[in-house]
A = this chain, B = another copy of it.
Amino acid sequence: MYTFSYYKTVLIAFLILAHVNLIGQQHPNLTLTQTGVEQIRKNLGNVPFFDSHLAEVKAEVDAEMLTGIHVPIPKDMAGGYTHDRHKRNFSMLQKAGALYQILQEEKYALYVKEVLMEYARIYNGLPIHPQPRSYARGKIFWQCLNDANWLLYVSQAYDCIYTFLSKKERNHLEDDLFRPFADFISIENPQYFNRIHNHSTWGSAAVGMIGLVMQDEELIQRALYGLKKDGIDKNAKDNDGGFIKKANEKAGFLANIDAPFSPEGYYTEAPYYQRYAMYPYLLFAVGLNNMRPQEKIFDYNNGVLLKAVNTLLNLTDTDGEFYPLNDAQKGMSYFSRELVSSVDIAYHYGDKNPGLLSIANAQGKITLDDAGFAVAMAIEEGKAIPFSKKSMEITDGPDGKQGGITILRAGQVENELNLVAKYSAQGNSHGHYDKLSFSLYHRGEEVLQDYGLARFVNIDQKNGGGYLKENKTWAKQTIAHNTLVVNETSHFKGKYELGSQFHSTKYVSDLSSNGHQLISAKENNAYEGVKMHRTLVMVEDERFENPLILDVFKVKATDKNKYDLPYHYFGQLMSTNFDVKSLESLAPFGKKHGYQHLWLTAKGTATGKIDQLSWFSNNTFHTLSMASEPGDTYLFTKLGANDPEFNLRDDPSFVIRRANTASTLFVNAIETHGSYSPVTEMAENTRSKIKGISILMETEDYSVISINLAEGASIKLYFANNNKNKNQSHSILLDGVEQQWTGPYFIQTN
């Protein structure tokens, strides 16, 4: 009598044979491979992290299948029924395909097949989507981008049931659904497909993935290298105001790796969109790696795709939320599904960094494929160690020469301070006009915020979930950021064409973390006749509960200007040491460049000495200490003016205004201190430790500032301002005392 095990072996052998198609290509072989499936099946029941996620997905798909098949004629915007339904479909199909492979239960293959047949039945007859909002309208969704999402997910489902289908069925699906679908989002929409943009990455990955499954070399080439002809007008723009394509610019998947990624894998649009784009980048890369290893895709551009995952993970605050640079919805984090797959792929196809396992563990999810299984297995084997985020300098631009982003970190995780300094390129159409801006985080909470975008993604009531006009009129403007505004006008006058031509430049940095960290950058193009140079220092000094932030902003100008330096704080104002007059009626702060959205609520007058402002948020105190000049005014604002549809948040801001001034130096210090508990009602360390700030020297070559604590106690920053002197030995005389140092800066503590 044959044993059960014998039958099982025969069955598996049969299945393996059956999965090799006629031209020799195995299926599945995109994200799930045959070897992977064998490994997974062999270990079912032994890897709890995998098993529990498998059970979850099975329960979800089983429940969905009970509701039947729903392929409605597309009509709604994001947030509407048909949109959500088709979105749900592609996700369910992908999962059902994986379940079929892993559980070998035919019902899942049958479900995938039936849904696909329904799409095949209607696809060719579908008109363009009725909602006319996109520069590239889809057929299933209002924009091609979502159609590409669909195809990228569904390719995986198709790969999983490929051998389950008859040749005739495959021909039907390929002829009536997949190839016309791929053509529609590429040949028929070159303005969508053939450009350098996250949209196009989705497009090329989708076309490439279905091409790989279909073994359609033409589609694969189109995906990798773009359309040879596209007829795109070089002045055409997309809905975000970005240019579609520069003349003679390359397109396709590989060009989309070349252009937006810096050598460290920073994606020029910033983390929110990088997160979104990582999915197609990595998925298609995995498909290529498995089906066309000769492309060596993970080695492409020095392995930038996997470096990008590490960079992206470092662009998160203590809680794993992405810094909302440029257009970014707050709250998006490495718990998103795109980062689940990114982390799994980076682990499995990368250098098996065990720190990634702790993030996978925190995510509590894995992908049901080779990469996810490898992660679950490694966690089961106890290989996870904490993912350590350190201070990090990230360049921007394909050659890494277009400025960048620096993150300074200090303190233990439970009390961590992060400073994010931005001196990058424009960031394509999702860029904001905020050269030399920064934001500050404490314990994963915002202390000085970057507003992010003005949009409620997928919330139908708010412009169908799309960008709101306030994104342009407020969120992108300079005044919406913690950086200098000259004459109430945004950097580059808020003009994309102009801003796209320039980037800021790093001057000097030091992330050594031995008591202080520093990032200093210059911007010479944001305003004609105004050169800006900002230096941010994170000083760890035991006299301060948390590291002290020094913010030294040097302005060199030929003419007299009005300077506004905003700090976008949160929470309740506690005290000021200068006079504040609250206004009896409120008017907008200005007329344009974002000023029209701020209510001016109060005005303060500088004392000409040290001025201080304390506020309280997240049960912590914060104090801004300013080396003021007589004549400086302080302006308190609240967001929300000229906002007829209540699209903006009502956040407060504080603006230092120095008018009628040419060259000048702003020196400010930010303390994060103390705590309050509404349960014990104990308030600790509620006061600033700073007694004075003085500018001891300010010349073309040097800036010397002193933060004065108690009598005889101070922190002094000696700074060389120019490239021509920064690496030399310096000797300067201050109050008859000579101070010597070598290199760009020196911090002296007394």
Contact = CB atoms under 8 A, between A and B. Distances in A.
Given A79-B686, A573-B646, A650-B638, A681 B458 contact: yes
A383 B266 CA distance: 56
Interface stretch (A15-23, A252-260, A580-588): A580-588
Given A329-B678, A331-B678, A582 B457 contact: no
B586 A585 contact: yes
A332 B678 contact: yes
B649 A459 contact: no
Interface in A298-350: 329-333, 335-337
A253 to B, nearest CB: 25
A68 interface: no
A701 B685 CA distance: 61
A644 B604 CA distance: 11
Interface in A585-601: 585-588, 599, 601
A36 to B, nearest CB: 26
A733 interface: no
A572 interface: yes
Contacts of A582: 642-644, 646
> Most B CB atoms within 10 A — which of A330, A587, A614, A640?
A640
A678 B330 contact: yes
How many monomers of this protein are in the complex?
A: 2
Contacts of A84: 682
B460 A683 contact: yes
Contact of A585 (B585, B602, B652, B687): B585
A462 interface: yes
Interface string A446-463: 000000000011111110
A359 to B, nearest CB: 14
Given A640-B638, A650-B652, A679 B332 contact: yes
A130 interface: no
Contact of A686 (B332, B460, B572, B638): B460
A629 to B, nearest CB: 24
A557 B687 CA distance: 53
Contact of A676 (B459, B642, B680): B459
A686 B461 contact: yes
Best-buried of A335, A582, A646 by chain B (most CB within 10 Å) = A646
A465 interface: yes
Interface in A674-726: 676, 678-683, 686-687
A385 interface: no
Contacts of A332: 678-679, 681
Nearest to A573: B646
Nearest to A640: B601
A309 to B, nearest CB: 17
A574 interface: yes
Contacts of A650: 638, 650, 652
Contacts of A329: 678, 681
Contacts of A337: 680
A504 to B, nearest CB: 29
Interface in A543-591: 572-575, 580-582, 584-588
Nearest to A87: B682
A737 B246 CA distance: 73
Contact of A458 (B79, B335, B683): B683
A197 to B, nearest CB: 19
Interface string A627-652: 00000000000101011101001101
A599 B586 contact: yes
A458 B682 contact: yes
A465 B683 contact: yes
- Tell me which of A680, A681, A686 has the highest count of chain B C-beta atoms within 10 A of its own C-beta: A681
A331 B646 CA distance: 28
Given A330-B678, A683-B79, A574 B462 contact: yes
A369 B573 CA distance: 42
A681 B458 CA distance: 7
Contacts of A330: 678
A436 to B, nearest CB: 28
A602 to B, nearest CB: 8
A572 B646 contact: yes
19 contacts: A331-B678, A332-B679, A335-B679, A336-B679, A457-B681, A458-B682, A458-B683, A460-B687, A461-B614, A462-B574, A465-B683, A581-B644, A584-B642, A585-B586, A585-B587, A638-B638, A638-B640, A638-B650, A650-B650
Given A461-B574, A465-B683, A638-B650, 9 more contacts: A79-B683, A79-B686, A333-B678, A337-B680, A458-B681, A458-B683, A459-B676, A586-B587, A602-B644
